[in-house]
Amino acid sequence: MKHIVTLLVENKPGVLARIVGLISGRGYNIEGLTVAPTHDPEVSKMTIEVPGDDRVLEQVTKQLNKLIDVIKVADLTSQRFFGQEMILVKVAAGPEQRRGVLDIAEIFGAVVLGVQASSMTLRLADSPGRIAEFLDLVKPFRILDVSRSGMIAMPADGI
């Protein structure tokens, strides 16, 4: 099971390294990680995707709560939350394939960022499941490059 954990942390040098070191130092993997300042420039929000059972999550959250720079830890896995990921994908598409790529992009709400002589670059922000579906559909055109942001998330109810 993949757990989605959000943290509010002090926006200071070294905080990210300490958090990643704490998680990886205990043998847990991080499958996704995003971090950026919030509306308060003194505070950053992190979203971490950690695979494992409930015991793993309990250990991770207990350890994170002990760090001085961590303001708040929330496990979103068992509650309703909004989560999105962004992907940039470059697909091989000459003039004869562009219509097919554009049709798929339109269905998913992807934005065309650029059209080159033999390729197209698209952006899609959606749930990880929809992004996987999108990638499956454009795969036959030959994917040349992919960049994924990792998930950002917040609870659907409350803070």
What percent of the chain has a predicted confidence (pLDDT) above 70?
Answer: 99
pLDDT of 159 over the 80 cut:
no
Q: Total domain count for the chain?
A: 2
Rounded to whole angstroms, the Cα distance separating 123 from 69 reads: 34
- 27, 61, 78 - which closes a domain: 78
Tens-place pLDDT, residues 43-70: 999 999 988 888 878 888 888 999 999 9
- Strands of 52-151 (E only): list them: 70-75, 81-92, 111-115, 119-126, 143-148
Kindly state whether residues 95 and 124 are assigned to the same domain.
yes
Kindly state whether residues 71 and 91 are assigned to the same domain.
no
The pLDDT of residue 55: 83
pLDDT of 158 over the 70 cut:
no
Q: What is the pTM of this model?
A: 0.82
Rounded to whole angstroms, the Cα distance separating 119 from 123 reads: 14
The pLDDT of residue 136: 97
Rounded to whole angstroms, the Cα distance separating 27 from 49 reads: 14
pLDDT of 91 over the 70 cut:
yes
- 78, 109, 124 - which closes a domain: 78
Kindly state whether residues 53 and 99 are assigned to the same domain.
no
Rounded to whole angstroms, the Cα distance separating 127 from 115 reads: 25
- 22, 43, 78 - which closes a domain: 78
Domain that holds residue 99: 82-155
Q: Average pLDDT, stretch 71-89? A: 92
Angle 97-84-4 from CA coordinates, rounded to 5°:
135
Kindly state whether residues 86 and 151 are assigned to the same domain.
yes
Scan for tokens 């960022």, then name that residue: 113
Query: Does residue 78 contact residue 61 with C-beta atoms inside 8 Å?
Result: no
Kindly state whether residues 41 and 63 are assigned to the same domain.
yes
Identify the helix (H) or strand (E) that includes residue 18: helix 15-25
The mean-pLDDT minimum among 24-28, 40-44, 150-154 falls in 24-28
The phi, psi pair for 135, rounded to 5°, reads -65, -40
| CATH code at position 61 | 3.30.70.260
Tens-place pLDDT, residues 110-143: 999 999 999 999 999 999 899 999 999 999 999 9
Tens-place pLDDT, residues 2-18: 889 999 999 999 999 99
